[in-house]
Chains A and B, each alone.
Chain A
Amino acid sequence: MTQTDTLGPRPALPWIRLDGPEPFVEGRLCRACGARTAATHLACPACGARDSIETYRAPTTGKLHAYSIVRRSYPGVPVPFISAIVDLDDGLTLKGNLINVAAEPEALPVGMPVRMVFGDALGRTDKDGASYVAFFFEPSA
Chain B
Amino acid sequence: MSENVYILGIDMLKFGKYPDRTFAQLGGEAALLALDDAGLSVHDVQAMYCGSVFGAYDMTGQAIMREIGQTGIPVTNISNACATGASAFREAWIAVKSGLYDVVLAVGVEKMPRGMLGAGHETGISLEGLFGSASMPAVFAESGMEHAGKYGTTFEQFAKVSVKNHHHSTMNPKAVYQKETPLEEVMGSEMIAYPNTKLMCSVNVDGSAAAVVVSEKKARELGLTRAIRVLASALASDPWNPRNPIMPDVNGCTQLAAKSAYEQAGIDPRDVSLVELHDCFATAELLHYENLQLCGLGEAGRLIDEGVTALGGRVPVNVSGGLLSKGHPLGATGIANMYEVALHLRGEAGARQVQGARIGLTHVVGLGTASAVHLFEKA
Chain A residues in the interface with B (C-beta under 8 A): 10, 12-14, 35-36, 38, 45-47, 65-75, 77-79, 81-85, 87, 91, 93-97, 105, 110-111, 121-122, 124-128, 130, 132, 134-135
Chain B CB within 10 A, most for which of A72, A105, A111, A130: A72
B-side interface residues, number (CB < 8 Å): 38
Chain A CB within 10 A, most for which of B118, B124, B148, B191: B124
Asked whether any CB of chain A lies closer than 8 Å to the CB of B236, the reply is no
Q: Give the shortest distance, in Å, between B158 (CB) and chain A (any CB).
A: 12
A85 touches B192 (CB 8 A): no
A39 and B130 alpha carbons, distance in the complex (Å): 18
**CB contact list, B155-206 vs A, under 8 A:** 155, 190-196
Q: Which residue of A lies closest to B138 (CB)?
A: A68
A96 and B133 alpha carbons, distance in the complex (Å): 8
Q: Which residue of A lies closest to B125 (CB)?
A: A124
A78: chain B residues within 8 A (beta carbon): 129
B57: chain A residues within 8 A (beta carbon): none
B116 touches A74 (CB 8 A): yes
B129 touches A69 (CB 8 A): no
Asked whether any CB of chain A lies closer than 8 Å to the CB of B305, the reply is no
A91 and B124 alpha carbons, distance in the complex (Å): 28
Q: Give the shortest distance, in Å, between B144 (CB) and chain A (any CB).
A: 8
B194 touches A85 (CB 8 A): no
A97: chain B residues within 8 A (beta carbon): 129-132
A66 touches B149 (CB 8 A): yes
B323: chain A residues within 8 A (beta carbon): none
A59 and B90 alpha carbons, distance in the complex (Å): 45
Q: Which residue of B lies closest to A38 (CB)?
A: B246
Chain B residues in the interface with A (C-beta under 8 A): 115-116, 118, 123-133, 135, 137-139, 141-143, 145-146, 148-149, 155, 190-196, 240, 242-243, 246-247
A121 and B243 alpha carbons, distance in the complex (Å): 24
A66 and B141 alpha carbons, distance in the complex (Å): 9
Contact of B129 among A13, A77, A132 (CB under 8 A): A77
Contact of B130 among A38, A69, A124, A130 (CB under 8 A): A124
B141: chain A residues within 8 A (beta carbon): 68
A84 and B141 alpha carbons, distance in the complex (Å): 11
Q: Which residue of A lies closest to B197 (CB)?
A: A71
Known: A45-B240, A68-B145, A95-B246. Is A12-B127 also a contact (CB below 8 A)?
Answer: yes
A96 touches B240 (CB 8 A): no
